[in-house]
Amino acid sequence: MAKYYKIALSILMISAIIISCKKDSPVDEDGLLITFRQECFVSNFELLGADFVSVRSKTAVIDTVAQTIDVEVLFGTDLKNVYPQFSLATDCKLDPKITGKTDLSNLASPKVYTVVSGNRKIRKAYKLNIKFQ
């Protein structure tokens, strides 16, 4: 009888090990799910000031072919302390990541943000052009 218990226990243990080691889905270096999606674009852009209120004077123009974002900001906007917000196609991610306030004051050298598709195989670099009202 004890022999059967041992066999059953061994089978259960092996099954548990197999199940626990099985990789469900691939994830990237950020722990995000890598999917089959190939879409790779910016769908919307917002720019907030230090008070978390929008500093845009009009809607940002996103050119997904030329891969540019043109945004006009209000007079007096302090571009050293702004919070850019990107809306991306499903499963995409942004590189570099936006982790807090960002310095976009160097208008002569527009910052470039790269959109990475859901399958992590397509990368599109968007140039962020800012001008004052």
Among 74, 89, 94, 122, binds another protein (CB under 8 A): 74
Among 40, 42, 47, 49, binds another protein (CB under 8 A): 49
Closer residue to another protein, CB minimum distance, 54 or 87 = 54
Among 4, 5, 36, 52, binds another protein (CB under 8 A): 52
Angstrom distance (rounded) from CA 27 to CA 72: 37
Smallest distance from another protein to CB 74, Å: 4
Residues 79-108 that bind another protein (CB under 8 A): 80-81, 103
Smallest distance from another protein to CB 101, Å: 8
**Eight-state DSSP code of residue 100:** S
The verdict on 57 binding another protein (CB under 8 A) reads: yes
The answer to whether 71 touches 45, Cβ cutoff 8 Å, is yes
Q: At 86, give phi and psi (nearest 5°).
A: -110, 135
Phi-psi region of 76 (alpha: psi -120 to 50; beta: other; left: phi over 0): left
Sheet holding 61-63, edge to edge: 61-63, 68-73, 123-132, 111-116, 93-95
The verdict on 133 binding another protein (CB under 8 A) reads: yes
| Binding residues vs another protein (CB under 8 A) | 49-53, 57, 74-76, 78, 80-81, 103, 133
